[in-house]
Amino acid sequence: MAFFKEELMNVKGFAFDVDGVLSRIIQPLTAEGDPVRTANIRDGFAMVHAIRTGYPLAIITGGNTTEVRKRYQKLGVTHLYMGSLDKITFFEDFLKKTGLKESEIMYMGDDLPDYLVMKRVGVPVCPNDAVTEIKSVSKYISDRNGGEGCVRDVIEQVLRAQGKWIDPEKLHWSSF
């Protein structure tokens, strides 16, 4: 685990899947048969802090709903890629737009569409309930399930390691 902690120092950007990472995998369905995505408020808080601290952050998801788009736009995510299982193309666009290297990205995925991207990034991570193939390529498996704070877990670890996490004694709510 010490090796993983050292690798956190190299992270300069984040990318996350939605279903199974930012949202729980068991979800009610609408009358149209679409899943109703969940959102973890603590994940969102950590994402806002990371963005405001200067970390580029991408959402790369096969889903394509107005609700998900609005949620992450409100949090300040400017690299929002939706509607394709070909996540490599989206990932390469994120790298091009940010100027970051693959080795500087932490990517969190949970299922097979995330596999190829996770093989390329410097720090692949996953929630506790990810599928076996994703766990096998992850350098860290959160103790939290998808949609239950796993994103907060990894963002907080990176920012703490780099001395950029929030000091509650100096927290000014006007900055959020």
**Domain limits, the chain:** 2-95+111-166
CB 80, CB 68: distance < 8 Å: no
Could you tell me which CATH number the domain at 2-95+111-166 has? 3.40.50.1000
pTM for this predicted structure: 0.93
How far apart, in Å, do the first and last CA atoms of the chain sit?
32
Q: Which two tokens stand for residue 8?
A: 């956190």
Residue 19 counted as an annotated binding residue: yes
Partners of 15 in the β-ladder: 58, 107
Residue 129 counted as an annotated binding residue: no
Helix (H) or strand (E) holding 16: strand 13-16
Within the chain, residue ranges assigned H as helices are 2-7, 41-52, 66-74, 87-98, 115-120, 132-137, 150-161
Tens-digit pLDDT profile for the chain (176 aa)?
447 889 999 999 999 999 999 998 877 777 888 778 889 999 999 999 999 999 999 999 999 999 999 999 999 999 999 998 899 999 999 999 999 999 999 999 999 999 999 999 999 999 999 999 999 999 999 999 999 999 999 999 999 999 999 888 777 655 55
- Tokens 């939706």, residue? 82
Residue 34 counted as an annotated binding residue: no
What local confidence, expressed as pLDDT, does residue 175 receive?
53
What local confidence, expressed as pLDDT, does residue 3 receive?
76
CA 62 to chain centre: 14
